Structure 1
Amino acid sequence: MLDRRTFLISAAAAIATGCSGNTTAKLPPKPSLTKPVSTDYVQMYAARPQERFPVPAVDISKIDPKFYRQVVDYNSSAQPGSIVVETHERFLYLAMGDGKAMRYGVGIGRDGFAWGGRARIARKKAWPTWTPPTDMIKRQPKLAKYKNGMDPGLDNPLGARALYIFEGNKDTLYRIHGTSETWSIGKAASSGCVRMLQQDVIDLYNRVPEGTPITVYQV
């Protein structure tokens, strides 16, 4: 897969009608449009009250099932243990070897803020502080109050976990991180970073060590 697609190396960095009649006959109930969700997924995305800041359960009925965390077939040259983000698919893959990968649904950067390339996870942080970049503060002056950092918590844009992406020794300023904005999964909504459901980023955080290679493909 690495040989069949080119990628960028630089950072440029939601939404019924009813009717009535005079008949007394009862209409048959409308079929449900929502398929029942597997209890495995309900448990996977259950609340995490043991966290430093208790994480609420995800209402996964509002998320396309293809974006649920799952093991999938994966035909790739990526080394086991490495991370691949396919931005056009809105998926993050953790290569497992033997033609398999753990796949997570993600939200990715809006056009004009996207980053792509080969890098590494230089460090990881549980419940990180968020400091907006200088360019972001220029675009959104109201963020200046966080120039020295925003305290951890569910309202913090980095969420429950953050994985920091570096090219060599240079911080790209892009992260894989948690989000409470579940609607953003599967969409291009962030300022360049890779967003994951809180439960998913916690799972990924526990699976990968610092130094893990990462490739982010752009189309």
Structure 2
Amino acid sequence: MKFRSLLVAGLLAAATAISGCATDGASMFANSYGGKKDAGYQLPAIPLAKLPKEYRRQVVRYDTTEVPGTVIVDTGAKHLYYVMGGGKAVRYGIGVGREGFEWKGTSRVAMKKEWPVWTPPAAMIKRRPDLAKYRGGMGPGLDNALGARAMYLFNKGGDTGYRLHGTPEWWSIGKAMSSGCIRLINQDVIDLYNRVEVGAKVIVK
């Protein structure tokens, strides 16, 4: 009888754990926001208590006709979805373009770079002359505007000028602050980078 009680208790505990993962995908990645070394750079930990739960990486239910591997960006909700198939997607919190810099459309990931060099476009330098010192490129590092990873978006006309990239400014996630690029927390952009293949379709809506 005692064995049966222990068995039932164990099954109930397992069911509770499984249920928790299914309904709270954020808990699956809670340990992914700590400090970590990457290519010699020490990424600082993200203070999860200050990051709204809706912007933490999690697996969610997501019905779409797009094939697995597609990236769908919902600029209104400030969410990026990596389509997994089976009615599921990995959802990330993002920062988007501020007023006047929003954009929508379909493109593809033409190339991917780890710890990329950031070169501000001429129009940005015109708006912010202080960036002229980076006309030849800002070297990779913890303060680099593109963060730990960048995925370059091209369409039929060539380079759109927009990127999916990391940012050291974790507090900007969930806000409209960029010049049009889609930014993710560095820990999240590394995860996305490892999933997305060159040639992947990216839909921004």
Q: Quickly name the TM-score band, shorter chain normalised.
A: 0.7 to 0.9
Over the matched positions of the two proteins, sequence identity in percent amounts to 52
Q: Does 1:202 align with 2:190?
A: yes
Q: What is the alpha-carbon distance in structure 2 between the residues aligned to residue 90 and residue 182 of structure 1?
A: 13
Query: What is the TM-score normalised by the length of structure 1?
Result: 0.79
Alpha carbons 2:29, 2:58 under 8 Å: kept: no
Alpha carbons 2:27, 2:58 under 8 Å: kept: no
One-letter amino acid of the structure 2 residue matched with residue 55 of structure 1: L
Q: Does 1:212 align with 2:200?
A: yes
Q: In structure 2, what is the equivalent of residue 89 of structure 1?
A: 77
Q: What is the alpha-carbon distance in structure 1 between the residues aligned to residue 82 and residue 68 of structure 2?
A: 8
* CA displacement at 1:169 relative to structure 2: 5.5
Query: What is the TM-score normalised by the length of structure 2?
Result: 0.85
Q: In structure 2, what is the equivalent of residue 78 of structure 1?
A: 66
3-state SS, counterpart of residue 183 of structure 2:
strand
String of CA shifts for 1:129-183, please: whole Å, max 9, x gaps.
0000010011111111111100000111000000001013511111111111111
- Larger RCO of the pair (alpha carbons < 8 Å, separation 6+): 1
3-state SS, counterpart of residue 36 of structure 2:
coil
Q: In structure 1, what is the equivalent of residue 116 of structure 2?
A: 128
Q: In structure 1, what is the equivalent of residue 33 of structure 2?
A: 45
Q: What is the alpha-carbon distance in structure 2 between the residues aligned to residue 88 and residue 41 of structure 1?
A: 24
Q: Does 1:152 align with 2:146?
A: no
Q: What is the alpha-carbon distance in structure 2 between the residues aligned to residue 93 and residue 40 of structure 1?
A: 16
Specify every segment of 5 or more residues in structure 2 that has no aligned partner in the other structure, as ranges. Answer: 1-25
3-state SS, counterpart of residue 153 of structure 1:
coil
Q: Does 1:178 align with 2:166?
A: yes
* CA displacement at 1:39 relative to structure 2: 7.0
* CA displacement at 1:60 relative to structure 2: 1.0
Q: In structure 1, what is the equivalent of residue 7 of structure 2?
A: none
* CA displacement at 1:49 relative to structure 2: 1.9
Match of 2:46 among 51, 58, 65: 58
Could you say what the CA RMSD is over the residues aligned between the two structures, in angstroms? Answer: 1.3
Q: In structure 2, what is the equivalent of residue 35 of structure 1?
A: none
